[in-house]
């Protein structure tokens, strides 16, 4: 049996997404910039894709740009805002639990003369709104806060945060990394005081190498990739047509099935937690089932085990999980997220992340729990 429980790292493309990608490669292979019919047709299909994703996000078509993925969207927003607004100030704010595509961009800007405030996190994975408010100054040009954390699933209250930022300094711009929340948490962009927002295709059963960036009308961003003026001048380069059309198909499915998808993820998460706690002793769960946690991520520690060993034992059983953030888990060292939450080293060492999708089933969870129990008990015996 193969059970894929690493959906925060990436998701399996849905069948109709694959069909849309193949169709784009076989039929819609024209260059959208070409003046002939083959190009114009593709241009039209990109326009429709943009319209559909913008509608799902709750923004205008002209406010949504295609990029190569979440990492690039975060870079365009953060670097672009910093560069376009540095005359107004050089203070920028983020949190200690951001994805490396945000954290390393801030580190780079720090090296280029920007002053950075890295906000602390509490033991549950949440920022302090009071500390955020206190951090905003006259010269703060940007605050970047992730919506859902990819390792533990904590949700930062972006509606409240947006209001708070603008209340303190109406000129401070607010960027949100919504790569783990898009599709899993319902929101309407026009109701939020957010200036830029990053999303990614492969986290929502779309293709890899495609993403998007919302930029509120009127916000100044200096492009980091220059060229032929594609994507309304923000991101040059011939469009990734198969990626865009596959992404649009993934979003179309979300639009139609989101309520059911969220319900299934919530069910699987609660069922997994209840079962794992009932079956295995000395498990510490780092992701709650409350509304302040995303429906798809469960981070937990199996005391007396080593997560990497456990991960590979489970792989042998056909179960795919993660020992932290997929993008950083190959590097040595402790998870920066769990460390920021002040979780003890022994617990970080034994922490495993499982992340579900609406395509997972109860039977898969039953199988996964049985195998996790077997492997944890074996490992505890060996390590004793």
Ligand X SMILES: Cc1ncc(COP(=O)(O)O)c(C=O)c1O
Q: Give catalytic residue positions.
A: 327
Q: How far apart are the first and last CA of the chain?
A: 30
* Contact present, 382 and 310 (Cβ < 8 Å): no
C-alpha angle 42/54/240, rounded to 5°?
Answer: 35
Spatial CB neighbours of 108, under 8 Å, sequence gap ≥ 6: none
Spatial CB neighbours of 240, under 8 Å, sequence gap ≥ 6: 66, 68, 209, 210
Binding mask 140-179 for ligand X (x = CB under 6 A): ------x---x--------------------------x-x
Q: List the interface residues with ligand X, window 261-300 (CB under 6 A).
A: none
Q: Three-class SS of residue 269?
A: helix
Using the rule CB under 6 A, is 322 a contact of ligand X? no
Using the rule CB under 6 A, is 243 a contact of ligand X? no
Report how many residues bind ligand X under the rule CB under 6 A.
15
Q: List the interface residues with ligand X, window 195-224 (CB under 6 A).
A: 200, 202, 211
Out of 88, 327, 347, 378, the only residue in the binding site for ligand X (CB under 6 A) is 327
> At closest approach, how far in Å is the CB of 200 from ligand X?
3
Out of 172, 180, 301, 350, the only residue in the binding site for ligand X (CB under 6 A) is 180
Tokens standing for residue 296: 């798809």
Q: Nearer to ligand X by C-beta: 88 or 116?
A: 116
> At closest approach, how far in Å is the CB of 209 from ligand X?
8
Measured in degrees and rounded to the nearest 5, phi and psi for residue 226 equal -110, 155
> At closest approach, how far in Å is the CB of 176 from ligand X?
10
C-alpha angle 96/102/108, rounded to 5°?
Answer: 95
> At closest approach, how far in Å is the CB of 16 from ligand X?
21
Q: Nearer to ligand X by C-beta: 50 or 99?
A: 99
Using the rule CB under 6 A, is 70 a contact of ligand X? yes
3-state secondary structure 83-131: HHHCCCCCEEEEECCCCHHHHHHHHHHHHCCCEEEEECCCCCCCCCHHH
Binding site for ligand X (CB under 6 A): 69-71, 99, 101, 146, 150, 177, 179-180, 200, 202, 211, 326-327
């Amino acid at each position: 049996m193969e059970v894929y429980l690493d959906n925060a790292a990436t998701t399996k493309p849905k069948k109709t997404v694959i069909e849309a990608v193949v169709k784009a490669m076989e039929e819609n292979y024209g260059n959208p910039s070409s003046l002939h019919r083959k190009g114009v047709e593709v241009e039209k299909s990109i326009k429709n894709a943009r319209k559909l994703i913008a509608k799902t996000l709750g923004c205008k078509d002209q406010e949504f740009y295609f990029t190569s993925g979440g990492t690039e969207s975060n870079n365009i927003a953060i670097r672009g805002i910093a560069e376009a607004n540095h005359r107004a100030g050089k203070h920028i704010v983020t949190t200690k639990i951001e994805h490396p595509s945000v954290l390393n961009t801030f580190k780079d800007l720090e090296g280029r003369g920007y002053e950075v405030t890295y906000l602390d996190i509490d033991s549950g994975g949440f920022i302090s709104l009071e500390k955020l408010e206190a951090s905003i100054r006259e010269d703060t040009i940007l605050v970047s806060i992730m919506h859902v954390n990819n390792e533990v699933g904590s949700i930062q209250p972006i509606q409240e945060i947006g209001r708070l930022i603008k209340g303190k300094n109406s000129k401070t711009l607010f960027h949100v990394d919504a790569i783990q929340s898009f599709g899993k948490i319902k929101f309407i962009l026009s109701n939020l005081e957010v200036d830029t927002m990053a999303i990614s295709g492969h986290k929502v059963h779309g293709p890899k190498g495609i993403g998007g960036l919302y930029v509120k009308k009127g916000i100044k961003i200096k492009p980091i990739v220059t060229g032929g003026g594609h994507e309304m001048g923000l991101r040059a380069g011939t469009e990734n047509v198969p990626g865009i059309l596959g992404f649009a198909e993934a979003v179309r499915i979300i639009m139609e099935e989101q309520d059911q998808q969220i319900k299934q993820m919530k069910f699987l998460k609660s069922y997994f937690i209840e079962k794992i706690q009932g079956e295995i002793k000395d498990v510490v769960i780092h992701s709650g089932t409350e509304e302040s946690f995303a429906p798809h991520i469960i981070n937990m520690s199996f005391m007396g085990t080593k997560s990497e060993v456990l991960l590979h034992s489970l792989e042998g059983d056909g179960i795919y999980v993660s020992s932290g953030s997929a993008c950083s888990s190959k590097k040595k060292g402790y998870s920066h997220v769990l460390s920021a939450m002040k979780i003890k080293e022994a617990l970080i060492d034994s922490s495993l992340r499982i992340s579900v999708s609406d395509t997972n089933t109860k039977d898969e969870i039953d199988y996964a729990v049985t195998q996790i129990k077997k492997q944890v008990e074996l490992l505890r015996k060996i390590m004793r």
